Structure 1
């Protein structure tokens, strides 16, 4: 019968796995990493809060796609919290942690990743529902979107708690991994393979939807009345989502591959030398998303800029009633020109949030 080690501190597991990296990041190197991490986390908190506030305040964003986009920003905000907790529990502090505190540290990171990944999957379903029906937005009700968001977080919390619930190596330390000294290698294999497969599925789905939208847009454009902006709306939304997905895959795949190699017990792969750099790359993903939202969606950028302007001037913007989505607002070239002019003037003054 195997002996369980619930009462041991993490130094027992680090020493047994011959992991010395907990002592390597000290002094100047640790200070630099903490400074960069602090700056990125502050940016994550502020920028993603602006995205969520923009969706709440601007009635043009009161559609399922933007609610899910706001939830993705909430997942990035949660990731910032996980990274802050990690910063204060890493380096030489790692070996002094209790088993439960180490589980909490890793569980927060796993939860944030699962929340982002599941949210992207739900957005893929929402985009498929709307695009295949030739609509800009799906007909999901607010109640259904709320239930989907709650389901996303329920799945994320559960997946983050799986090792704590029993899938660990505390009672069989011969199966412990190197990067995560109290995670079993079988769990790391399951975790990384499932995430990589989800990445592949989403990439294939979004590429198919993108090609479908592009083909339909090219076919229908010469025969469709209405503004150019209205006809290009589905493509704009798809480009935004695909850019977010691409950034997510690029930032998270290297770290997942390293975890997979560790799960496969690759002792000559040098996983210890790159793990923290790939973790910083994953952190960068939560920094990039708000930039992508504002760059790809002019209305999102304008709304966020107005809120910053109003906060800087100490004003409270009033909301105007509008039920027209931002991406379908233009009905003629004249209207589009008027909106663009107003957007340029917004650099110099604070407008009401529509």
Structure 2
């Protein structure tokens, strides 16, 4: 009698335990599931980033194609614009690949590589903007000797340095110095650590300060030249040179203001926040930063007269008279 009762209790206990395990398999065996077996939930913000990456890649691919196929666009200025377009193109592809790896391949190693590509590409984009600023300053300060072999050699040197430094920054998330194993060391952008993001943010602030100083010097040079030309006409405000120069200074302000508006929120937020902050804040500051790569072709490539001619030739095989006869003004700097 006692043996039968004990046997019944053991059977009931085993049955209850089995039912309990069958009711919550995801909680019990969650860690043992492969990534492909986990439920797929797509973050809408990641869709926005992927869409931005697609637009960036398509837009800048057109600029790279035009500069690559046109032998006339080999001056230092066009090489730097091509470097900027190539960097933004790779950044757009990096965003798309990161979305693919995160939701399709679902591999930590692949995500490290794509994050490294995104970091290197956006770094190259910012460095290219600095190189373009330096080139514009030199073209005004050394106007008589700008078109020389020394200028071309200096441009190639800048390109090698900026891409080399960008590749070094892109290695930050893939050298093992990441927060995959220790979440407390994470920054607002996983898998970059707080030290990684601090290096990137401080570098951006230094580059922005240098660009600001160079643009101030460019404005001074342009205004001084316009003033000298205006004195020869005896009427400062009435001359077309003064009007176009003022427009050029306004263009420089728009360029620098757009750059700061896109990148400054994310840079400041990266310095003051950590992994405990809501991801919404990270996305809300990161998405506008990607828009800078959307705006860059409009500011630096599509407004350029020579690139406009090449685009018209590629698209319709002819160049409108309004484009071919338009004179270059200080607003084109």
The answer to whether the superposition gives a TM-score over 0.5 is yes
C-alpha displacement of 1:188: 2.1
Q: Does 1:309 align with 2:310?
A: no
Distance of 2:231 and 2:69 partners within structure 1: 36
Correspondence for 2:100: 88
1:328-339 correspondence runs (5 A): none
Correspondence for 1:258: 269
| Residues 237 and 79 (structure 1), Cα distance of their counterparts in 2 relative to 1, 3 Å cut | farther
Asked whether the 8 Å contact 1:302–1:343 carries over to 2, the reply is no
Correspondence for 1:340: 322
Distance of 1:136 and 1:210 partners within structure 2: 20
Q: Does 1:107 align with 2:116?
A: yes
1:143-154 correspondence runs (5 A): 143-154=153-164
1:1-354 correspondence runs (5 A): 25-26=42-43, 29=44, 34=47, 37=49, 39-58=51-70, 61-90=73-102, 96-98=106-108, 100-135=109-144, 137=146, 139=148, 140-165=150-175, 167-169=177-179, 173=182, 175-223=184-232, 243-263=254-274, 267=276, 270-293=277-300, 296-310=303-317, 340=322
Correspondence for 2:25: none
C-alpha displacement of 1:244: 4.2
| Residues 49 and 102 (structure 1), Cα distance of their counterparts in 2 relative to 1, 3 Å cut | closer
More moved, 148-157 vs 54-63: 54-63
| Residues 234 and 163 (structure 1), Cα distance of their counterparts in 2 relative to 1, 3 Å cut | farther
Asked whether the 8 Å contact 2:84–2:125 carries over to 1, the reply is yes
Unaligned runs of 5+ in 2: 1-29, 32-38, 234-238, 327-333
TM-score normalized by the length of structure 2: 0.69
Distance of 2:273 and 2:152 partners within structure 1: 43
| Residues 49 and 243 (structure 1), Cα distance of their counterparts in 2 relative to 1, 3 Å cut | farther
TM-score normalized by the length of structure 1: 0.66
Distance of 1:133 and 1:232 partners within structure 2: 24
Unaligned runs of 5+ in 1: 1-10, 13-21, 311-316, 318-337, 345-354
Q: Which protein, 1 or 2, shows the higher relative CO under an 8 Å CA cutoff with sep ≥ 6?
A: 1
Distance of 1:181 and 1:208 partners within structure 2: 39
C-alpha displacement of 1:170: 6.0
Aligned residues, how many? Answer: 284
